[in-house]
Amino acid sequence: MALLVAGCSGRESGSGSEEGAGDGGTSVASGDFGDLSDVCGPGDASTASATGVTADEINVGVFSDMGFTKNSEFADAAKVFTSWCNEAGGINGRTIAYTVRDSKLMEVRQRMIEACRDDFALVGGGSALDGLGVKERLNCLLPSFPAQIAQIQSAGADLEISAAPTQVNGYDPYYGYRKWLMTEGFPGSGAAVGIINGDSPVTSILGAQAIEATEAAGGTFVYNDLYPASGVADWTPYAQTIKSKGVKGLIFYGDFKQLAKLEDVLTGMDYKLDWIDANSNAYNQSFLELAGNSLDAQNNFADLGGVAPLESDNPATQQVIEMFDKYAPDAQITLPGLRAMSSWLLFAKSAGACGDDLTRACLLANAAKETAWTGGGLQAPVDLSNPTVPQPCFNVEEATPDGWTAADFQPDNGLYRCDVQPYKYTKDYGRPLTLADVGKSMNDVQ
């Protein structure tokens, strides 16, 4: 259930600068990132201006499902960014201290209550069942700058600003990507699309949304199946059905480890699909290693949703790599980790603009002024002043025996393609929660 959203390893607190291997280059030690100047730096802050803020320190929470997924990507990003920022002088002289709030899949509400007590804001994290804690978060007026969102109740909820949004309420984020797969990448494949879904509350909604939007883009589904979220011992029956149905394009939601096992069986029976939408959580080195036997036979794709790929020579992305080399040399950089870095940058820039009087109201107001946020160049521009409008750009990576490489998706804006109009769902899948749902308003945010 948690495998659509990255988790973190370890309940960990961090502040100050923790040195890792490698010098990281001079840019890592400065307070500038990409095309952003003075994100972090010294200052003369002197007041305890809000919950979680003292004259010397800013305490933030980082949500994860580490206890369930054993995945450290959000903790790694927090360690890297706070080490870099604190070494540069912090935020107006205040150091950033973070606590990983390990929700362990089912303990979102408990961790949110703890965060309400101690944290100034939530930054750079995510939990698969994030909707379980939204009421508590809104009730205590806690801002959130998540790296990844999973449930409808959370996506676009009040006091939540996504620097690199994965969902916008009411719109399909993968419409342009899947339309390209069916009409340009592999013409005719849309006549026989299949979907296989991990059986969980999260993926059931995502699957229904994918079917609606894919059909709107011209696809016809000939196969729709679920598999146990805990995994499958033998994928042969699923592979045989996919083959017998003549599936040409397969959408997969769930654990990329399970997808690799399914592809092994498909390849072993000499059945090659035109394309497999492996989803962006497969965009990592681990999937390449697990699916190594099938990378020649199957065409795996991932939509990065307008985030620059690690394989590019994009300067901001290269700076992230340098920062990881210095502060967390053994950590693997992932797509959710890149989104987390964009969230941290937005938080730091917005908090820094508040000066000594750092409050939640000031933090949110500054973040909402960003009309073309790119995280210093990490992603395509996003208008954070109008979160109801979806980000129109996508970019596609393909898994090959030589690694992840850019697919031939005809980009028209640098690394991205931005010419496909977003698709608005016609069915009601729910809505994000608001302050009004807990009897409050923005006037209560101090």
Write the CATH number for 194: 3.40.50.2300
What is residue 34's DSSP assignment?
A: T
* pLDDT digits 0-9 by tens, 15-29: 333 333 333 333 445
User: Is 397 found in the same domain as 271?
Assistant: yes
Q: Is the pLDDT of residue 5 over 50?
A: no
- Would 439 be classed as within a structural domain? no
- Would 87 be classed as within a structural domain? yes
Q: What is the pLDDT of residue 227?
A: 95
- Would 433 be classed as within a structural domain? no
Q: Nearest-CA neighbor of 6 among 283, 263, 207, 258? A: 283
Residue 345 has phi, psi (to 5 degrees) of -65, -45
Q: Which amino acid is at 185?
A: G
User: Which of 389, 411, 436 represents a domain boundary (last residue)?
Assistant: 389
CB 326 within 8 A of CB 22: yes
User: Is 267 found in the same domain as 200?
Assistant: yes
Rounded Cα distance between 422 and 106, Å, is 33
- Would 324 be classed as within a structural domain? yes
Looking at residues 196-219, what average pLDDT do you find? 91
User: Which DSSP string corresponds to 179-199?
Assistant: HHIIIIISTTGGGSEEEEEEE
**Alpha helices (H) along 256-310:** 256-268, 285-290
- Would 197 be classed as within a structural domain? yes
**Alpha helices (H) along 270-334:** 285-290, 315-327
**Alpha helices (H) along 199-331:** 201-216, 236-245, 256-268, 285-290, 315-327
Q: What is the pLDDT of residue 30?
A: 87
What percent of the chain has pLDDT above 70? 93
User: Is 396 found in the same domain as 384?
Assistant: no
User: Is 79 found in the same domain as 162?
Assistant: yes
Looking at residues 380-391, what average pLDDT do you find? 90
User: Is 399 found in the same domain as 266?
Assistant: yes
* pLDDT digits 0-9 by tens, 223-259: 999 999 889 999 999 999 999 999 999 999 988 999 9
Cα→Cα distances 158→109, 162, 322, 433, 437, Å? 17, 11, 34, 7, 10
User: Is 185 found in the same domain as 55?
Assistant: no
Tell the burial category of 266 from Cβ atoms under 10 Å away from its Cβ (0-12, 13-18, 19+).
buried
User: Is 219 found in the same domain as 288?
Assistant: yes
Confidence label for 206 from pLDDT (cuts 50, 70 and 90): confident
Q: What is the pLDDT of residue 392?
A: 86
User: Which of 374, 389, 404 represents a domain boundary (last residue)?
Assistant: 389
User: Is 143 found in the same domain as 36?
Assistant: yes
User: Is 111 found in the same domain as 36?
Assistant: yes
User: Is 403 found in the same domain as 384?
Assistant: no
User: Is 165 found in the same domain as 80?
Assistant: yes
Please, how many CA atoms are within 13 Å of residue 140, restricted to the half-sphere of its CB? 21
Rounded Cα distance between 373 and 389, Å, is 14
Q: Is the pLDDT of residue 3 over 80?
A: no
Looking at residues 269-286, what average pLDDT do you find? 95
* pLDDT digits 0-9 by tens, 115-133: 999 999 999 999 999 999 9
- Would 438 be classed as within a structural domain? no
Give the number of domains in the chain.
2
Q: Is the pLDDT of residue 11 over 80?
A: no
- Alpha carbon dihedral 239, 245, 251, 256, in 10-degree steps, equals 0
Q: What is the pLDDT of residue 311?
A: 95
Q: What is the pLDDT of residue 192?
A: 98
Rounded Cα distance between 304 and 177, Å, is 10
- Find the domain containing 319 and state its range: 2-170+310-389
User: Is 17 found in the same domain as 145?
Assistant: yes
Looking at residues 45-52, what average pLDDT do you find? 96
Token pair listed for 270: 């000499």
Q: What is the mean pLDDT of the chain?
A: 92
* pLDDT digits 0-9 by tens, 142-197: 999 999 998 999 999 999 999 987 777 789 999 999 999 999 999 999 999 999 99
- Would 444 be classed as within a structural domain? no
Q: Is the pLDDT of residue 2 over 60?
A: no
* pLDDT digits 0-9 by tens, 52-101: 999 999 999 999 999 998 899 999 999 999 999 999 999 999 999 999 99
Rounded Cα distance between 224 and 251, Å, is 10
- Would 116 be classed as within a structural domain? yes
